[in-house]
Every structure is written in structure tokens, then in C-alpha cells.
Chain A
Amino acid sequence: MSIALSMTVNGQHVTGTVEPRTLLVEFLRETLRLTGTHVGCDTSQCGACVVLLDGCSVKSCATLAVQCQGASVTTIEGLANGATLHPMQQAFNDHHGLQCGFCTPGMVMSAVDLVRHTPDPSDADIRKGLEGNLCRCTGYQNIVRAVQAGARAMHTSGGG
């Protein structure tokens, strides 16, 4: 069985044909070649694959592509405005919120969703908001700092 799929990814209308078992992350990475979204586990626990689905952060490894028929998806590639990084990306860069960078796309997407609900998050809000994202390198301290700075920068830039 294959199903014709149509959705909006990073503002662009895209179509494809998928099997029902195709995961959203497989469609993004393998069909659309948007490889910024990572796969770090097979237990739905690491958060490397987080994207925004109709504005909410979700694990694209625990979502079927066919469940996203007609939906709007934003991946890490969709955040920057040309050569200008999104304020949350810039904050990770400025505050050394990454080392190897494997977890970073998911961290940034979860952080953007967190700031939407909690515009001025405390340390505790950030740690709770990023519970679904694991990092094996940084020890989290700089990620928390980066998200706090990114949240402030998102207000001043008016960006979302």
C-alpha cells in the first residue's frame, strides 16, 4: 500500500508517495533530504528528531508520515532567515550550548516550543521543558543558559 502525501515543510508545499510505515523522520531525511533532523535512538526517548508539527514539538521518529497529511512541519532547516540564524540558534552558538552537535537540532526545536508556552522560562522550566532531549556531551549547563538567552532574544527580535 502506498499513499500520496502532501504537506508544508518549512513553508514549502511538498508531495511524495510513502508507505504507511514510513516515519515522519524518514520522509524528512530520506525523501526530502532534510538531514538536520537526527535519529539518536529507537526507543523514542532522546529527542534528536524533534520537529514542530502544526507548531507543537513532536518526536518525528514516533510519528508516521501519513499522520501528517496536510500538516505544516518546521525542521531545524526552516528556522534561519537566509544567512541570519534564528535567535535560539544564535544563542546556542554564543553560549556554547553544544559540543558534538548531534542533539542540537532537537534541543533547539524543543526550546522554541518551550518559549512559545513560557516566554520567560526559569532554569527549572527549561530543565523540565527539555526533559525529552538527551545530550551526551555538554552536561546541560550551557544549554540552559543558551535557552534563557535565546528566549530573551526571541522577544527583542519578535521572532518565533
Chain B
Amino acid sequence: MYAFEYHRPSSIDEAVALITSDDIQFLSGGQTLIPTLKQRLAMPDALVDLGGIEALRGIRREGDHVIIGAGTRHAEVAASDTVAGAIPALAHLASQIGDAQVRNRGTIGGSVANADPSADYPAAVIGLGATVRTNRREIAGDDYFQDLFTTALEPGELITEIAFPIPEVAAYAKFAQAASGYAIAGVMVARMPGGAVRVGVTGAAPYALRATALEVALAADFSPAAAKAVTISADGLNSDLHATPAYRAALVSVLAARAVAACGG
């Protein structure tokens, strides 16, 4: 790891003010950033540690939303009664991330900021139609993920919290890479109050996106068979040593069917 300077502010304003160049980065749980620094794939001049900012922590319910602070750890989301009561699928998703030690450090804000194509939370941001709140504005989940590790965040913009609408019913199903737990494909299916169906897919494409063909099919018939009958195009899907694009395309329908079954559909 190259040398860097370190700051530990206690407020959001202080943290943002410390980002005075593109070579200064936020540090949250460090479960992506520290391994990246060790591999010398990133070499910032300084890190601004968000760990001392109480305002970024915590989970609360506000009307028909659950709001999760960016600094909230995966283990806290997995164990939260508020999340389990309102969106059990989100608690389940958090409990499936990596391993217990990664969940004890890693945070939702870090995961959503990083936008790894195989990360789990992006499926929930898209599948539930969440809003990403920053120190500057609110970004609709649908507009947030833009490409591989690329989001709508501007340089120095800090995610403060993420607001998840509470669905009528939702479930997350993933096919995990055995060593890391990352999603080879992961699908969040949600039926929202009023009946609209949303399907968020991670792992399959360079960034998390909605599977509109599945949404249309499931809006007409919310059943595992209806999900399985949808053929997903393999065009533009990820290819790596774990799976071909065609395999990932097949997984998306299968996982959507499993998620619908888990919804009781």
C-alpha cells in the first residue's frame, strides 16, 4: 500500500470540505477500498474516514419508506427489526453478502457508491425503486447506476442515506460465486402497493438494471411459471470465468422465478 494521509471528521460538512481534490477519497467500511489499496489499484493522497460520523448511521421507518444511513453496516441491516418488519427481503439480502466479518465492517453506502457489477444492494436499489440521498440532492435509483463501477455521483459527492419504499411483498434470490459470495446473478422481485411489479437485476450486466420483460410478464401473472417463461437476451451481459452471457441470461429468469416463489406468488 502506498502512503496516504488520514482524516476522521465527525460531521458530514467537515467530511465533504476535506475532499479538495480528485485524489482524496472517502473511506467507509473499507471492505472494498482497503483490499484495493493493498493491491495498489488505487493510490489516493488522503482518505476521509466516515466512521466517526454518527449522522450517517442508523435505520428508521418514515411512513411508507425504510431509510438506511450510508454508514450502516450490512450486519446491522440483516439484524434490524425495522427492516425485517417492513422489507424482510432487504434483511435477507444483507445477510447474504460476503461473510460475517465483511458484514461486520462493510456499509450500504460504500457498496452503493462502489457499484460493483456483482454487488447485492444494487439489486434492491433498482428492484424496490429506492432513492439515493446525497449531501447535494436526491437521485432516483433508476438513474443512479450508469456503467461498470460508474454512478450518477459527482466527484466529492457523499451518499448520506438510501430510502427504500416498502413493497407489498418482495424477495431476493441470488446465485452466489462460491468463494466470495458475490452475485453471478441476483434478482430482487417486488410487488408494490397498487400492484406494479419491479424486477432489479445485479451480476448479469455491467451495472444493475430493471428487467422490464419480467416486470411486464409478472404484472400480468405473478407466478414462478410466468417468470420462467420469459427469455432474457444475452446481448451485453457479463462474461467471465464463472459464467457466459447465455448462462447469466438463463439464470435471471430462473432466479426471478425463485424470488416470485419466495414471495408466495
Contacts and interface: CB of A to CB of B under 8 A. Distances in A.
Contact of A67 (B30, B102, B104): B30
Interface of A: 1, 3, 19-21, 23, 42-45, 47, 50, 53, 56-59, 61-64, 66-67, 69, 110, 113-114, 129, 131-133
A116 to B, nearest CB: 11
Contacts, number: 80
A56 B99 contact: no
Interface residues of B, number: 29
Contact of B100 (A45, A62, A114): A114
A56 B3 contact: no
Contacts of B264: none
A110 B101 contact: yes
B129 interface: no
A137 B3 CA distance: 36
A131 B102 CA distance: 10
A135 to B, nearest CB: 14
Interface stretch (B34-42, B158-166, B186-194, B237-245): B34-42
Given A63-B30, A129-B100, 7 more contacts: A20-B5, A20-B47, A21-B1, A21-B37, A62-B35, A64-B34, A67-B49
Contact of A19 (B3, B37, B39): B3
B1 A57 contact: no
B31 to A, nearest CB: 6
Contacts of B75: 56
